[in-house]
Structure 1
Amino acid sequence: MLPDNRTLPGHRPDSRPDPAGIIGIVNDSAEPARKTISFAALLRDLREARSLTQQELAAAAGVSVDAVSALERGRRTQPQPHTVRALATALQLRDADRMALLSTLGRAGDAALEMPSRKLTPRTPSPPSVEVVGRDDEVAEIVAALGTTPGRLVTLTGPGGVGKTTVALAAAAVMAAERPGAVYFADLTDVTEPDDALAAVAHAAACAAGTVTGLAEHLAGTSALLVLDNLERVTACGPHLAELLTASPDTVILATSRVPLRVRREREVRIAPLGPGAAERLFGERLAAAGAPPRGRADDRAVAQLCRQADGLPLAIELLAAAAARLGPRALLERIDALRELPVAGPQDLPARQRTMAATIEWSRRMLGPAARRLLPRLSMVPGSFSLDTVDAIAAPDTADAVGALAELIEHSLVARADDTGPVTRYRLLEPVRRHAVETLEPADREHVRRGVARWALRAGREHGARIRGRGDMTAVEQVETDRHVLRLGFDHLVDTGRYDDAAELLWSVWLPLWMTGHTHEALAWTDRLHENDLSEHGRARWLVARAGSNRVAADLFTTAERAMRLAERVDDASLAAEAAIFASAAALRLEDFDGSQTLLARAEVLMKKRLDVERDVWAAVHVPIGYGDGALLRGDRAAAVRHWRAAADTAQKLGSEFSVPAVLAECAQAARGEGRLDDAAVMLAAAAELSPRQDERLRTHLAGVAAAVAADLGDVASAQWWEGVAGSEPAPDSARLDERFRELVRRAGTVSGRD
């Protein structure tokens, strides 16, 4: 009710408010003109004069309580005409009262005075403006979902530019044959209030009523399909749509939105970027449509790379194709990293928010909450995929709920789940999103990210290194492989900020898994960023071990490993000294210093037994017998070599380690093949096959791939093709057959090398 010290001019206890008095147009000679009352204040006074709560008025008008609250607080100052009419009807205003309420809105009130036309024209969806490429499966899924989803509400979600509207229109065209004259299209791009969404839908269906009840009555018996485009700004209208479907059992709704509506009736269908084949086909069609000359093979390769830059987003592909039609695909590819915007404007028949990828992404970014908006550009610093641990490191300490912010970015389709099968779930930004977001990163945020990643990298490197050396944990090897780009970012920051010993520790922690996954060049590049004069003795020993392990030149490897061993012994790090001795032994073997190699391996054994708990250093315990086996092989004693490798596998098993001796032998076989020692490579592969678990499909595939390469080097084309089949998708032959083929490879290699 009104405050005690305030009365409405002209208001009498036994009558309704006098609108003329309310809006202050009474102006006789005895009293000056009163100040005009706003729409917000007048609506509140009228509601309270009728003893209605906001909830009761909202229910009577068919609008949300939030809408009534926003209007009465003045937060929403330009209500839609249908909303004003609904409120006036719910308040049961007489003509004079209605005129008073509407007059406070100026022109908007004049529009509300006009009764809607009795004859409205329905709006039906147009077919897609361009040929739909690579979406047959999605269209079929949507049509099926609309026919079988209990809630009869299907929402297409996905990143901006992925083609949600195009797919929806294609699906609507299929369904139009089953629902003639009852397919309606409403574009809700410019609608910002949930209550106005229903009125826009009603208008598209040629319905004068802007309420759920009125629209349901209008659609009764028509089996209507409502195609609602761009709902992301008014997802709060979801309950209205659910209520409409309850009241109109024959109606189905197909919506597009960058985020789901989050109602129980909803079936979400995510529209993914195009695969490589479809992306390149779309690029070619858009090139041809722009009048580009026919492409050659070099252009085909450039187009494939440009499609990868677009990450399969049809809008990005279309924009790149338009630029490539003018500049040529190869020239565009050469300059793409230096271009913040493409030199050719997007199609003018697209909305302004879709004429550049930057505008499309910005449209999504503006709808984010503060935490997600802050996290997005930070994530853009990470090339490739990242884990939740990385997100925590990047977000902290000023984002309390990093997981919640990431979930919001995923919901808005700015971050996607990465396509990986590893033990840890990973995420990534689509490349166009990353390229745009990194441009918005503030310098302070950039440093914040680098510091956070460096902290995480050092901690993760220590953990992974301990798990690999201590337990032979191959899962940790895989994690270093997938996170190496993030680890590199942290390593670079440690170097750039002068934390050289920390950088050397991180390098030593991860160089071994980098070596085991074939990234020795990367590990060597890391070592080149450090200079031994900047390091303490302990840091220098770690740096030398990593450099020795990454070095391919035997003489340099031996010298480096020997220096590392001496330094490690001086700082009393027996584990590091044993590791260095094992490398020095391997280098001595390659220099054909067999006695020196044996001496160094014996030294490594002494270090392990004297100073180490062997269960904390499985890597060294297993590599000593592997080293003895390598020495026996180079001396021509294959039987002794296999005995030592079996001993290494037995040691790993005894210690309960996951360390894979066969995987190490496969890498050694690769190295022997590179040195032209095809006979030794074949022996190592045969031993690896004998020692490997038969159920390890990944290892079997790797061994078969190396065997195919060795057979090809031997000139045995038929065998190379057979091994390639085993490495591919063909069913694996039984164990006996595989063992026989490996023995054949050993005999063939021995014959060619003259060792048999």
Structure 2
Amino acid sequence: MSDAAGPARRTISFAALLRDLREARSLTQQELATAAGVSVDAVSALERGRRTQPQPHTVRALAAALQLRDADRMALLSTLGRAGNEALEMPSRTLTPRRPSPPGVPVVGRDDEVAEIAAALGSTSGRLVMLTGPGGVGKTTIALVAADVMAAERPGPVYFADLTDVTEPDDALAAVALAAACAADTVTGLAEYLAGTSTLLVLDNLERVTACGPHLAELLTASPDTVILATSRVPLRVRREREVRIAPLGPSAAELLFGERLAAAGAPPVGTRDNSAVAQLCRRADGLPLAIELLAAAAARLGPRALLERIDGLAELPVAGPQDLPARQRTMAATIEWSCQLLGPAAQRLLPRLALVPGSFSLDTVDAIAAPDAADGVGALAELIEHSLVTRGDDTGTVTRYRMLEPVRRHAVETLEPVDREHVRRGVARWALRAGREHGVAIRGRGDMTAVEQVEADRHVLRLGFDHLVDTGQYDDAAELLWSVWLPLWMTGHTHEGLAWTNRLHEDDLSEQGRARWLVARAGSNRVAADLFTTAERAMRLAERIDDASLAAEAAIFASAAALRLEDFDGSRTLLARAEVLMKKRLDVERDVWAAVHVPIGHGDGALLRGDRAAAARHWRVAADTARKLGSEFSVPAILAECARAARGEGRLDDAAVMLAAAAELAPERDGHKPRAHLAGVAAAVAADLGDVASAQWWERAAGTEPAANSDELGERLGELVRRADALTGRD
């Protein structure tokens, strides 16, 4: 290789020459990487020509590892042009250290996070603290505030390195050393430079070079007095790392930040009329400080209410972000796109598909909408979570749920290709129909309240599937899905939504069975007694004609409830008897618990309307006993709470209060927080209608308390509610 500098070799590329020099010395890429102190990936990238502009320190390290003579070394450097000349130069010894600067704007709502970071850095196990979170959440700002706090407590120097533009992990250590005014480009050299100092290294934007994590861990081992505070959209995944996830701001802090940024832009203070608009804009920003700043800048020009009215039609905000921010953070689109560039192909395909689903979703939804060729949708989701583009929900339900921050969703959905959009809608529709069937059977068959909660949680996803079925003319499937889920929608207070679903279908487009299901769902969602009776009676006759006893019994129960509202007590009893006959002669009661429980509930409702509260209570106890005897999880108290809501809507505040009191009495001690919170929410509304503000406020607090108030206190409060309602209606 002594002629490597000759004219015939001058046109050879750096990649080819490096490979020739390595092979001439019988070295593997692994052996060369080890000798040079770089990664195997770096050597591979250089030899394949994927990386054409290596750092000068990398070239020097490779030349030393290859033990090149002057001619070979010059030949290698000459392939790099001016960069080769830089590699020949010795690094300057008069470097200037880079210190972190305090944030340029006030920091709002981050005291708890700063305290947690300071405590972590001060602990023996917290020598590498990584702040992670979505783009625009304020990781850099929080790191700077925490560094300022630590600088006052630690005797040693603090250095700041911005690694945004560093793309190769092997170059990250040199950039860190440069920030500390150190000419070393190896772990050993930097550790020797930092020896004896209690140094805090603040490393910003590590997401593109997370593979440098082992080097940082090695540095901490070699330099026991050094601690590192870093920011990244993804963790390093090394054992020394302690991850602190930075969450978006809560509502109060978000609105405070919005107001401060409005004032900084010279806008007048937010008036009372603008408070609601500001709160809604902060919800659209999902608590992301960068999104709030950008919205506040636009609102300072247009006004909060005007911006809110137009925001859905804006592809991008009409006012650019602050010029002192990096270009990638001057719009939310640029910030999100920066994160998307770091994703693998599967995660890049899944992100816009998930964006089509509003609200939260489960792993089942992910499976339904993943690309047809996606081998691992769950793996792609995990990658999106790691990059903070998807977050986990609060996990209060039985199924883990996930959600996308609203600014991320709005951007990602715009990138969804039409063919992918159609595939997502088809997949969601298939999943919705299957899930609806399963939930419907579980609820009607055994009163599974977990299935009720699942329908409520997936309501928006089910609606997306229902819309696709209607839009593509699959009307009978849409009617089946509607009938499967209208009951849990009713039980969770979403009657208006159930009625809106029924309005999307027309009976002339349906088969007889589809029409019967549609009529039952429409009857169950209807609040107008006369319309309810007519619809339910039609559904009952049609169900009997097609020999569907379950539908017929359900329709008879609704017709009975409508007859009660029309004060036809005899007709109501006759219809309930008809339902009971169908139930006993035609149905397997143990697999049709809904009908078995609702017949005595209907008798109790009739007794209440006739003024016989004692008889009503007896019937409701029969309903609860029936559910227990059948081994059902059906929550009679939850049904009574919803009946109380309906009674309140009809102005029957005294009956509503009685139903709530009975619901509380029948609720078992093990009843979860959610059913009791629902009961308390209805009680708060009744108390407000009675003009009892203090009681309404107590019930509102009870609805938000976990665990819920105890049974004795609930009973006393509900007894007082009954007395107040009776006093208002003249019953006492």
TM-score strictly above 0.5: yes
SS at match of 2:92: coil
- CA–CA distance in 2 between the matches of 1:740 and 1:306? 41
1:220 maps to 2:202: no
Q: Which residue of 1 aligns with 2:481?
A: 506
**Any idea what the Cα deviations from partners look like across 1:305-364, whole Å, max 9, x if unmatched?**
111111111111111111111111111111111101111111111111111110110011
- CA–CA distance in 1 between the matches of 2:464 and 2:421? 12
Q: Which residue of 2 aligns with 1:13?
A: none
TM-score (norm 1): 0.93
1:694 maps to 2:662: no
SS at match of 1:177: helix
SS at match of 1:268: strand
Q: Is the 8 A contact 2:114 2:146 kept in 1?
A: yes
Question: 1:151 Cα deviation (Å)?
Answer: 5.9
Which residue of 124, 127, 131 maps to 2:99? 124
Q: Which residue of 2 aligns with 1:749?
A: 725
Q: Is the 8 A contact 1:381 1:438 kept in 2?
A: yes
Q: 1:304 to 1:752 in 2, by over 3 A?
A: closer
TM-score (norm 2): 0.96
Structure 2 alignment gaps of length 5 or more: none
The residue identity in structure 1 corresponding to 2:102 is P
Question: 1:675 Cα deviation (Å)?
Answer: 1.8
- CA–CA distance in 1 between the matches of 2:472 and 2:401? 29
- What pairs with 1:621-660 in structure 2 (closer than 5 Å)? 621-660=596-635
- CA–CA distance in 1 between the matches of 2:367 and 2:709? 46
Question: 1:718 Cα deviation (Å)?
Answer: 6.0
- What pairs with 1:377-416 in structure 2 (closer than 5 Å)? 377-416=352-391
**Any idea what the Cα deviations from partners look like across 1:230-249, whole Å, max 9, x if unmatched?**
11111111111111111111
Q: Which residue of 2 aligns with 1:596?
A: 571
**Any idea what the Cα deviations from partners look like across 1:579-627, whole Å, max 9, x if unmatched?**
0010011111111111111111111111111211111110000000111
- CA–CA distance in 1 between the matches of 2:164 and 2:239? 24
Q: Which residue of 2 aligns with 1:374?
A: 349
Which residue of 61, 67, 74 maps to 1:86? 61
Q: Which residue of 2 aligns with 1:550?
A: 525
The residue identity in structure 1 corresponding to 2:207 is E
- CA–CA distance in 2 between the matches of 1:491 and 1:42? 63
- CA–CA distance in 1 between the matches of 2:230 and 2:402? 26
Q: 1:739 to 1:65 in 2, by over 3 A?
A: closer
1:24 maps to 2:2: no
Which residue of 229, 235, 241 maps to 1:266? 241
Q: Is the 8 A contact 1:154 1:255 kept in 2?
A: yes
User: What RMSD, in angstroms, separates the aligned Cα atoms of the two structures?
Assistant: 1.9
Moved more, 626-635 or 368-377: 626-635
Moved more, 290-299 or 742-751: 742-751
Q: 1:84 to 1:745 in 2, by over 3 A?
A: closer
- CA–CA distance in 1 between the matches of 2:569 and 2:310? 54
The residue identity in structure 2 corresponding to 1:690 is E
1:703 maps to 2:685: no
SS at match of 2:243: strand
Q: 1:745 to 1:193 in 2, by over 3 A?
A: closer
Q: Is the 8 A contact 2:139 2:246 kept in 1?
A: yes
Q: Which residue of 2 aligns with 1:336?
A: 311
Q: Is the 8 A contact 1:24 1:36 kept in 2?
A: no
The residue identity in structure 2 corresponding to 1:749 is A
Q: Is the 8 A contact 1:158 1:164 kept in 2?
A: yes
Q: 1:161 to 1:719 in 2, by over 3 A?
A: closer
**Any idea what the Cα deviations from partners look like across 1:684-740, whole Å, max 9, x if unmatched?**
222222211134344444434434443444455665566556556599776556545
Q: Which residue of 1 aligns with 2:502?
A: 527
1:320 maps to 2:295: yes
Q: Which residue of 1 aligns with 2:251?
A: 276
**Any idea what the Cα deviations from partners look like across 1:548-602, whole Å, max 9, x if unmatched?**
0111111111111111011111111110110001001111111111111111111
- What pairs with 1:725-744 in structure 2 (closer than 5 Å)? 726-727=702-703, 729=705, 735-736=711-712, 738-744=714-720
Matched residue count: 731
- CA–CA distance in 2 between the matches of 1:741 and 1:456? 43
Question: 1:182 Cα deviation (Å)?
Answer: 1.7
The residue identity in structure 2 corresponding to 1:430 is L
| Residue identity (%) | 88
- CA–CA distance in 2 between the matches of 1:700 and 1:325? 43
Q: 1:721 to 1:126 in 2, by over 3 A?
A: closer
- CA–CA distance in 2 between the matches of 1:684 and 1:56? 79
Question: 1:263 Cα deviation (Å)?
Answer: 0.8
Q: 1:469 to 1:732 in 2, by over 3 A?
A: closer
**Any idea what the Cα deviations from partners look like across 1:80-129, whole Å, max 9, x if unmatched?**
10001111122222333321221111111011111111221111111112
Q: Is the 8 A contact 1:396 1:452 kept in 2?
A: no
Which residue of 536, 545, 551 maps to 2:511? 536
The residue identity in structure 1 corresponding to 2:159 is Y
- CA–CA distance in 2 between the matches of 1:719 and 1:164? 43
- What pairs with 1:120-159 in structure 2 (closer than 5 Å)? 120-148=95-123, 150=125, 152-159=127-134
Q: Which of these two proteins has the greater Rg computed from alpha carbons? A: 1
Q: Is the 8 A contact 1:22 1:37 kept in 2?
A: no
**Any idea what the Cα deviations from partners look like across 1:438-458, whole Å, max 9, x if unmatched?**
111111111011000000000
- CA–CA distance in 2 between the matches of 1:207 and 1:702? 63
The residue identity in structure 2 corresponding to 1:351 is P
1:682 maps to 2:682: no
SS at match of 1:22: coil
Which residue of 222, 227, 239 maps to 2:214? 239
Q: Which residue of 2 aligns with 1:430?
A: 405
The residue identity in structure 2 corresponding to 1:556 is D
The residue identity in structure 1 corresponding to 2:231 is T
Moved more, 681-690 or 256-265: 681-690
The residue identity in structure 2 corresponding to 1:236 is A
- CA–CA distance in 2 between the matches of 1:721 and 1:349? 46
Q: Is the 8 A contact 1:154 1:269 kept in 2?
A: yes
Q: Is the 8 A contact 2:156 2:200 kept in 1?
A: no
Q: Is the 8 A contact 2:10 2:79 kept in 1?
A: no
Q: Which residue of 1 aligns with 2:417?
A: 442
- CA–CA distance in 2 between the matches of 1:737 and 1:323? 50
Question: 1:495 Cα deviation (Å)?
Answer: 0.3
Which residue of 149, 163, 187 maps to 2:138? 163
The residue identity in structure 1 corresponding to 2:16 is A
Q: Which residue of 2 aligns with 1:608?
A: 583
- CA–CA distance in 2 between the matches of 1:732 and 1:533? 48
The residue identity in structure 2 corresponding to 1:666 is A
- What pairs with 1:356-375 in structure 2 (closer than 5 Å)? 356-375=331-350
The residue identity in structure 2 corresponding to 1:24 is G
1:568 maps to 2:543: yes
Q: Which residue of 2 aligns with 1:174?
A: 149
**Any idea what the Cα deviations from partners look like across 1:269-316, whole Å, max 9, x if unmatched?**
111111111111111111111111222111222111111111111111
Q: Which residue of 2 aligns with 1:619?
A: 594
Moved more, 436-445 or 414-423: 414-423
Q: Is the 8 A contact 2:132 2:245 kept in 1?
A: yes
Q: Which residue of 2 aligns with 1:29?
A: none
- CA–CA distance in 1 between the matches of 2:52 and 2:68? 20
Q: Is the 8 A contact 2:637 2:666 kept in 1?
A: yes
**Any idea what the Cα deviations from partners look like across 1:121-158, whole Å, max 9, x if unmatched?**
11111111211111111111111111215261111111
Q: 1:90 to 1:425 in 2, by over 3 A?
A: same
Question: 1:199 Cα deviation (Å)?
Answer: 0.8
SS at match of 1:364: helix
Which residue of 507, 510, 517 maps to 2:492? 517
Structure 1 alignment gaps of length 5 or more: 1-16, 26-32
